[in-house]
Structure 1
């Protein structure tokens, strides 16, 4: 797995609580809804090219990011970003809230960008019932840990918690994560063993039970079956790429050419080009 923990920070609980309270009143958007199979992901820009909240998607540009009104409002988060990162290389910083029970469609990022990008996550609110994945490894990014996420690999998120997962996600123009860290950061790259989720193999009988969903698949339950497969990725030893493989096999077995085309097109959008 290329993703890894960079460092563990000591957070100021009082100041963080104040920022989280402020964030409750933010204007959020659903610009990443294409990658949410169930639940809700709300995001807002803290830094971007223009400093405007209206700029909600990523793109190539020259120069450094500018803080938005929401970035200015989160005084402690702004201080953390300035303390731990080289903001001259920062392109985007987003504040993202994932609702309980939400799962991401496995996907790869930066497909639409030309520049080399480095993505860092800082979890501010989460628990051990929230998981991320890269390829066929499922892991936890715990509160206060800085994580490099290799977003060019197939990755997903599954929340089985009863409260929002809140992360700050920073994207930098750089070839390596070490270039984006401020001098004072003592990076200790690792993937702690207890951050990795243990998942049993998906046995032949269970796999066949999933493939038998072809008998009931239609346009009314397509989304629910897709979500079930993603949740299975977090529960058993199947990769994010296999989610689409199984979905296409189920669609093919159903005899619904339209649903097979839908799954194939969505896989291309998530994994190849957009």
Structure 2
């Protein structure tokens, strides 16, 4: 069962956002989350607790929301946010960009005792842009408001050459519902992606690719293990099972330990500010 929920649909066509999306396309990204991402993924902060452009690493905070310089350049997007969502619990406003890339399966909020509520709304997307949760793959349409169940393993992939741009809103308190104003009725069912079961030959070919892994190529090599979950019926964390087994086939115990450590970092345990070193 999909735990993430479609909460609403926004009247997104009433906002003229094309010029602002172009601003995001040209905005530089500092690479804070490169450990988790493969291909072109970036995070762009519109509002946070300090208003500083350099304050880009997500963390819970006390106090009010402040616009960054980027947020000040995007009044239409911020107007959409303030028109439809409560601001009293809102802690971060970001835009995630994903183009021909994938995010490793991961669990959010492992660093903190209290998880928050994470909401995403695609502003530009296509059928090639997919989300996943546990063993389910789904597509979020433009303007759909989704509460992401971020404490279970989840991922995202886009094979499109045009960047998918999605607003991410982080609210304090995981239990309190997010009240959404001015929504429009959903006219289409939730889009679940059906995938065939992987064949034994496909799994064996994937595991056999481990013979080409080296300490230098381990990071880049993980991408194909994460990709299969989006194409075949498998749990998101199967990517780590396959990856560890492929590393075992190299006979290099240090590589096995690195593969196991990556799984731990992504879905089991990590500390506040902890960086994974490949």
- Could you tell me the TM-score, scaled by structure 1's length? 0.91
Unpaired stretches in structure 1, ≥5 consecutive residues: none
User: 5+ unaligned residues in a row in structure 2: which ranges?
Assistant: 271-278
Deviations along 1:38-70, one digit per CA (max 9) or x if unpaired, are 212122211111011110112232223222121
1:239 corresponds in structure 2 to 235
Check whether the contact 1:148–1:177 (CA below 8 A) recurs between aligned residues.
Answer: no
- Residue correspondences, number: 269
Which residue is equivalent to 1:89?
89
Does 1:65 find its partner at 2:69?
Answer: no
Q: Alpha carbons of 1:13 and 1:220: their partners in 2 closer, same or farther (altered >3 Å)?
A: farther
Paired residue for 2:189? 192
Return the offset for 1:115: 2.8
User: Is 1:161 the equivalent of 2:157?
Assistant: no
Change (3 A) 1:76 1:218: same
SS in 2 for 1:121: strand
Moved over 6 A (4+): none
Tell me how far 1:224 sits from its aligned partner: 4.1
* d(CA) in 1 for partners of 2:158, 2:176: 26
Matches of 1:95 and 1:243, distance apart in 2:
26
1:142/1:242 CA distance change after superposition, 3 Å:
same
TM-score, normalization by structure 2: 0.89
Aligned pair 1:255/2:251, yes or no?
yes
Distance 1:182 1:147, change over 3 A: closer
Q: CA deviation at 1:113?
A: 2.1
Q: Shift in Å at residue 6 of structure 1?
A: 1.3
* Change over 3 Å in CA distance of 1:13–1:28 after alignment to 2: farther
User: What is the deviation of 1:85?
Assistant: 1.0
CA shift for structure 1 position 14 = 6.3
Contact 1:5-1:191 within 8 A present in 2 as well: no
| 1:229 correspondence with 2:221 | no
Which residue of 2 is the match for residue 30 of structure 1? Answer: 31
| Counterpart contact for 2:15–2:80, Cα < 8 Å | no
1:57-206 aligned within 5 A: 57-99=57-99, 101-176=100-175, 178=177, 180-185=178-183, 192-193=189-190, 195-206=191-202
- Distance in structure 2 (CA, Å) of the matches to 1:191 and 1:148: 17
**Secondary structure in 1 aligned to 2:31?**
coil
What SS does the aligned partner of 1:106 have? strand
Deviation at 1:143, TM superposition (A): 1.0
1:25 Cα deviation from its structure 2 partner: 4.1
What is residue 53 of structure 1 aligned with on the other side? 53
Residue 185 of structure 1, CA deviation: 4.4
Which range is displaced more, 107-116 or 260-269?
A: 107-116
- CA–CA separation in structure 1 for the residues paired with 2:141 and 2:180: 21
User: Structure 1 residues 259 and 64 mapped into 2: Cα distance closer, same or farther (>3 Å)?
Assistant: same
Residue pair 1:44, 1:53 contacting (<8 A) in 2 also: no
Aligned residue for 1:40, secondary structure, equals: strand
Task: Report the Cα distance in structure 2 between the residues aligned to 1:127 and 1:184, rounded to whole angstroms.
Answer: 24
* RMSD, matched Cα: 2.1
**1:134–1:155 CA contact under 8 A, matched in 2:** yes
Q: Relative to 1, partners in 2 of residues 1:26 and 1:211: Cα closer, same or farther, differing over 3 Å?
A: closer
